[in-house]
Amino acid sequence: MKLYASLAVITAVYAIALTLSATDNPQGVVWNGVIGALFSLALAISTVPLGGPLLYETALQILTSTLNPPIDLALLVTVLRIASWAVNLIFTAALILYLIRWKRPLMRKILRVLLF
């Protein structure tokens, strides 16, 4: 979760910066900052083997529809989609290799980074 929490801070700041250029309403700025953070925290869903990126895509659509005021986060969403696939592929490969007992200590470290 440390990985996702650090990404959440970055995406929240990015969303706040974009919102400040669109409105002066403090409630909208805070709301979009929270939604920006949730974009990265939802990456934890991507660790579900095989179905993670599809679940993350659903989360992205829901979160994008709740932005108030609506801002263009296309670049951020594209980067996070790629990150979702990367997290899923790395997690699935590490889990399979861990289960077949190949380089188990290294795979355990990779799984810990992605889960904790």
Band of pLDDT at residue 49, cut at 50, 70 and 90: confident
Q: Which domain holds residue 64?
A: 1-86
16 lies in some domain: yes
Residues 6+ positions from 114 with CB-CB distance below 8 Å: 3, 47, 87, 90, 91, 94
Say what the pLDDT of residue 22 is: 85
Q: Are 91 and 111 in contact (CB under 8 A)?
A: yes
Placement of tokens 């669109």 in the chain: 22
Query: Which pTM was predicted?
Result: 0.84
63 lies in some domain: yes
User: CA distances (Å), 23 to each of 26, 42, 58, 68, 105, in order?
Assistant: 8, 26, 27, 10, 50
Q: Does 107 score more than 90 pLDDT?
A: no
How many domains does the chain contain in total?
Answer: 1
pLDDT digits (tens, 9 = 90+) for 63-82: 999 998 888 999 999 999 99
